[in-house]
Amino acid sequence: MEKLSPELQSGLKVASCLGSYVKKSTLDIISIDVDVGLLEVLEEVSRKGFMDDVGDRFRFCHDRIEQAAYDMMSPDERRAKHMRLGLLIWAHAVIGNESDEMLFLSLNQINRGGSHLLSDFNQRNTISSLNLRAGKRCIAMSDFASAQKFYESGISFLNNDHWQHQYELSLELFEASIDVACTLNNAELLN
């Protein structure tokens, strides 16, 4: 993998951040801002045997290939790439589009990046609100464990003075988190 060109390595890194498979429609969104034609790059990576081109997506041939591509990045680089990818997907696909899939994909990336990478009050507020919305959608699908993760992430994106300036959002996130903890019988979160 290290013998591949920097462009192909970059494509593998992006794909590994997105998971075991990447939809081509997602690549179109990301390619707009990363200055690389990811579709062409992953087609080349596929020809070299690292990924399979399966209809509307690319899939890693093996989970160890995915992990090796992910391990080519330092932990800080991974977090930064997750945040950048999440914000790109959110900006281009979620705004004006109520697709649960794109909401979950963008938030999973942003949350993996971590709240410490965002300092803008409005962005942090928006991400907290989106995590609340994603958690509620998970509850509607009876996916309580995922809902809990979204609520916890939403809380982590609240600003330091959230009880003064984000009271309603803070209250909703904490109440929802406690409700799910009760449902899951998660005594650790209840203490």
Tens place of pLDDT per residue across the chain (191 aa): 889 999 999 999 999 999 999 999 888 888 877 667 899 999 999 999 999 999 999 999 999 999 999 999 999 999 999 999 999 998 876 666 667 888 999 999 999 999 999 999 999 999 999 999 999 999 999 999 999 999 999 999 998 889 988 999 999 999 999 999 999 987 776 55
User: What is the value of pTM for the model shown?
Assistant: 0.90
- The tokens of 10 are what? 């970059």
Which amino acid appears at position 36 of this protein?
V
Q: How far is CA 38 from CA 126, 179, 185, in A?
A: 28, 42, 43
65 Cβ contact list (under 8 Å, min separation 6): 1, 50, 51
pLDDT score of 51? 96
- The tokens of 171 are what? 């209250």
pLDDT score of 136? 97
pLDDT score of 32? 75
